[in-house]
Amino acid sequence: MPLWDETPGPAGPIVLGMRTIAALVLAAAVVSVPSPAAAAAEPGVATVVPVQVTGAPEKRFNLIVMGDGYTGAEQADFGRDVDRHLNVMWSIEPFKSYRNYINVYRVDIVSGESGISCDPGLTSPRRTTPLSMGFWGRCNPGSVQRLITMDNSAANRYANLVTGTTPGNRQILALGNSGTYGGAGGSYATASGSNAMSALISPHELGHSLGGLQDEYDYYQRGVPGGAYGGGEPSSAHHTLLTERQMSEQRAKWWRWLGEPSESGGPIGRHEGGLYATTGVWRPSAHSMMKTLGYYFDQVSREVMVQRITAKTAVIQDATPADQPLGADRVLWVEPMRPVSHGLTTTWNVDGEDLPTGADTLDLRTLGLTPGTHTVRATVTDPTEFVRDPAVRAALTATRTWTVDTALSTPPDGVEPGFTSSTPTDRPAGGEDVVHVETTHPAATVPEVTWELDGERVGDGGTDLDLGELDLSPGTHRLTAGLGGDTLTWTVDAVAPATGYELSEPLAGAGDTYVYNGPFTMRLTGDDDRDGYVVSESRVDGDGWFNYFGWPTSSALPWTFSEQGTVIDHLVYGKLPRGRHTVEYRSIDAAGNAGAARSFTVTTIAPPPACTRTVTGAHRGPLTVTDGVTCLDGATVTGAVKVRAGASLVVDGGRISGTLTASGAAELHLLGARVDGALAADRTGTLTVVGAELRGAAALTRNTAPTVSGSTVKGALTCSANSPAPADLGVPNKVTGVSGGQCRDLREGPRGERYEAIQQVAQ
């Protein structure tokens, strides 16, 4: 969606520990002024529901998701929409790794009317809703249809219900009750709630609103080319006028990522188009999320998003107070942020010399400091591989400095070891998550956490535990952490989701290999052993992983692949060139577990020519095709069939109770058909025998690129002088009789060198 410069306007929570969670949740669960009795029906009533609370709002990036156009009876629908949007977001980096940096609050706003204005057209009803959301930029004829905007001041008032958040530490995402594609990014982000692609609109719009990323579209109005870019070097981090060589020589823009395989598919390089211009400006990837919904952020945009998310938090959440000198007889500590995927690195330095420890605590008593004062510094750095720019790395780094005076003594503080916060215990941890706890900080003690997995001791006593390093067996595990008299328990979900696929009926298929001669559909079904929205993905020929959302017009419809693709609202979906393709698929569950990728192979071949004559039903007696294209559509022919030079025959199903002879024919297609007599095809331009049953002998000579795939031949099969040799496209044939010559490898069992011809035939 466009980066729209709008007019500025002013589930259970993640566990924060036994001492702090109650206060935070109570502060978040705010109900607006109307009484609870009126809340079920009165328009404008809002309830704040803490979906995920990872820390005090003042120290977190707070995502506030509010709905518009959902009546009191539709609030459950809003909850399901939010769940889907969030789970899709948690499957996308960097939201997946930095989930713990984000508090999420849902604002359930009761609307007096269902839906939003001008949906889908300017002549559609204008509805009265709390946020006044509407397509066409709130029904502006000069806008674009897909642009959803709202009353920002109203949105800000509802966001103010979430205690502890301010415009500086929060991001509003408003979902309109609509199944029409649309959204916007600017001061606030908007998206339709239930469109097939809407859960992908919201992270794209957050790329605008949170990340300041620009659109990589080469158009503004769909169907209207964007023309040539006429400006200077863009300020955008992911657009440039520079060549790859200039980027490398000048160390500019995304030079550090050049040549890397893009997270969204293909290499990172220089791809023309962006900023609504078709030519004259370049972007890093062929199709990242800012260009094509469904793909991931590429590395360039992802790096920006990591910086922006971190900037909304404090890398060091808390630390030993440093407002006055401290004694050398105590423990210093820092509490860093806690990503889901990895731990931050803490480096301790005394008087300019780094210490070997990497813990979050430092016992000064173990250092043997000489009498006098010393400077102690702790530096916390995020080692993420998502960042290569030193300036961004510096933004992900924080320090604390103390003056230590050996002449001072630390009085007893009476603080007992215990937990103050943790990774959520009310939802399963993923099998590769880093689970963490925060503890109290006695001045004279280094808390040592006892970690146990299924009753066995694990870990080194630190405050985090990397489950990915434990190589967990598939299944459900019980993890506990103990300290003093406190115990925390997690369920660890180490069961990857399963993914199934359903394809439309192929011409031929065996195992996970299929042949089609036209469009085909694919449905992916992700399934998990636990509740929560499961995100399914696929990728073709090693390209980027693409979110499976069904079909753009309806999530209930399967995805359609075709040679030219399908044009919907001036965009092309499902374009798959003719040939052999490997389609991988997998799913990601609500705990973040990704199933192992599996795959199937599809070969698409040329469709038969258009019919000039069609025969159906029963045809008695011989049939001779002298010219044009004769199609036997499920017909039964009793007698011999001959195809003369230059003519074509397409047999789709049905039966020929006689011999079939083609000499010099333009094309011969036997698709799921049965031939009771012998088949002789000589010098045929296009010969395709797929899913057929040949009950007599078959002789194929001097044909061009013949295909014999997934067919049954009950007589002898001989082939000679075909160019190239016949190919089975990966689906072998059942040959009862002798197979010889070029056809010896087309039967089940060892297939020799048959794959060499596949690509030639497919193309």
Residue 654 scores a pLDDT above 50: yes
pLDDT in tens, 18-65: 333 333 333 333 333 333 433 455 899 999 999 999 999 999 999 999
Alpha carbon distance 658, 465 (integer Å): 73
Residue 521 scores a pLDDT above 60: yes
CB neighbour list of residue 583: distance below 8 Å, 6 or more residues apart:
522, 538, 539, 540, 599, 600, 601, 602
Residues 179 and 136 in one domain: yes
CB neighbour list of residue 629: distance below 8 Å, 6 or more residues apart:
608, 609, 610, 611, 612, 613, 647, 648, 649, 650, 667
In this structure, what are the phi and psi dihedrals at residue 222, rounded to the nearest 5 degrees?
Answer: -55, 140
> Comparing 253 with 35, which gets the higher pLDDT?
253
CB neighbour list of residue 505: distance below 8 Å, 6 or more residues apart:
none
Residues 694 and 593 in one domain: no
pLDDT in tens, 267-319: 999 999 999 999 999 999 999 999 999 999 999 999 999 999 999 999 999 99
- Give the end of a domain, one of 377, 405, 433: 405
Is 321 part of a structural domain of the chain? Answer: no
Residue 756 scores a pLDDT above 90: no
Domain containing 449 — which CATH number? 2.60.40
Residues 277 and 372 in one domain: no
Q: Which amino acid is at 363?
A: D
The dihedral sign for the CA sequence 686, 690, 693, 696: positive
Alpha helices in 378-516 (DSSP H): 390-395
- Give the end of a domain, one of 347, 381, 405: 405
**Closest to 441 measured CA to CA, from 310, 312, 315, 317:** 317
The dihedral formed by the CA atoms of 628, 633, 635 and 640, expressed in degrees to the nearest 10: 30
Cβ pair 391, 303 in contact under 8 A? no
**Total number of domains constituting the chain:** 6
What is the structure's pLDDT at 41? 52
* Neighbour count for residue 288 (Cβ, 10 Å): 30
pLDDT in tens, 61-72: 999 999 999 999
**Closest to 667 measured CA to CA, from 608, 735, 738, 737:** 608
Residues 255 and 354 in one domain: no
The residue range of the domain holding 544 is: 498-604
Residues 190 and 231 in one domain: no
Is 301 part of a structural domain of the chain? Answer: no
What is the structure's pLDDT at 749? 52
* The two structure tokens encoding residue 760: 């030639």
What is the structure's pLDDT at 752? 35
pLDDT in tens, 381-404: 999 999 999 999 999 999 999 999
- Give the end of a domain, one of 140, 174, 209: 209
pLDDT in tens, 549-591: 999 999 999 999 999 999 998 999 999 999 999 999 999 999 9
